[in-house]
Amino acid sequence: MNGMRVLVVDDEPAILRFLKPALEASGYRIDSASSVAEAVKRIASDSPDVVVLDLGLPDGDGKDVIRQVRAWSDVPIIVLSARDREAEKIESLDLGADDYVNKPFGVGELLARIRAAIRHRMQRHSEIPVAKVGDLEIDSVRHRVSRAGDEVKLTPKEFELLSFLARHAGKVVTHRQILSAVWGPAHAEDTQYLRVYIGQLRQKIEISPDDPSVILTEPGIGYRLRDEV
């Protein structure tokens, strides 16, 4: 099963060794980063479903990750830190963290907070767990796409792109809107980049990629996912 993706940002290998088996046993897929710069890069490129973030990182404060990422993403961020001063918690939450867990911690509690953060994000977006477009099904909880019952293998970025189009099914979304939402504002003008990904998606989900019936092009504007196929 393709579970939701958790990015653990911590420069202590022992934390990752401790968390990885517990999270994987609960169905999550685990990625890791050990610095502010790597964390921001991984969040932008890999689109995790939730971030577990330590504040003490070798190239800066973990709050810098929150500050930068919140300029373009609402990915749930759970701070996991040994800093227990109230001021640290308040600043982290004010910057946009969704939750704050002190070290040492219980894995059961952390898993519950991860589930809650993901639920809250889905509620904010009014996301439907399974969207259907004809015989195409997009499962936002399990990150699974199927066509006529057969699973379609997508990369994380392809899935995020398709999910964004599905949330706006039947509506035209501009190149800039898609690029900003999926890749971040820095890529808002990279229309050729978007065309490449749309082409890859069509190869995987369209019956006739050269004559698409699911992802439609609106010339000079953007794309539209048909809400009825």
Tens-level pLDDT at each residue, the chain (229 residues): 346 889 999 999 988 898 999 998 888 889 999 999 999 999 988 889 999 999 999 999 999 999 999 888 889 999 988 887 888 888 999 999 989 988 878 889 899 889 888 887 776 665 556 777 778 888 876 678 998 888 999 888 888 899 888 877 888 888 988 988 888 777 878 888 899 999 999 999 998 999 998 999 988 888 999 875 4
Q: Are 148 and 198 in contact (CB under 8 A)?
A: no
- Counting beta carbons within 10 angstroms of the beta carbon of residue 25, is it exposed (0 to 12), middle (13 to 18) or buried (19 or more)? exposed
Cα 137-141-144 angle, rounded to 5 deg: 40
**Distance (Å, rounded) from C-alpha 91 to C-alpha 79?**
11
pLDDT score at 229: 45
Provide the strand spans (E) within the chain: 5-9, 29-33, 50-53, 56-57, 60-61, 77-81, 99-102, 130-133, 136-139, 144-147, 150-152, 173-174, 215-218, 222-225
What CATH number does domain 130-225 carry, 1.10.8.60, 3.30.465.10, 3.40.1390.40, 1.10.10.10? 1.10.10.10
The pLDDT score that the predictor gives to residue 201 is: 95
Rounded CA Rg of the chain? 19
CATH fold for domain 5-124: Rossmann fold (3.40.50)
**Residue ranges of the chain assigned to CATH 1.10.10.10:** 130-225
Strand 136-139: give its sheet, edge to edge. Answer: 130-133, 136-139, 144-147, 150-152
Considering the chain, tell me which residue range(s) the CATH 3.40.50.2300 domain(s) occupy: 5-124
What are the residues facing 33 on neighbouring strands?
A: 9
pTM as predicted: 0.58
Q: Identify which of 87, 94, 85 has the alpha carbon closest to the alpha carbon of residue 77.
A: 94
Q: What is the pLDDT of residue 1?
A: 34
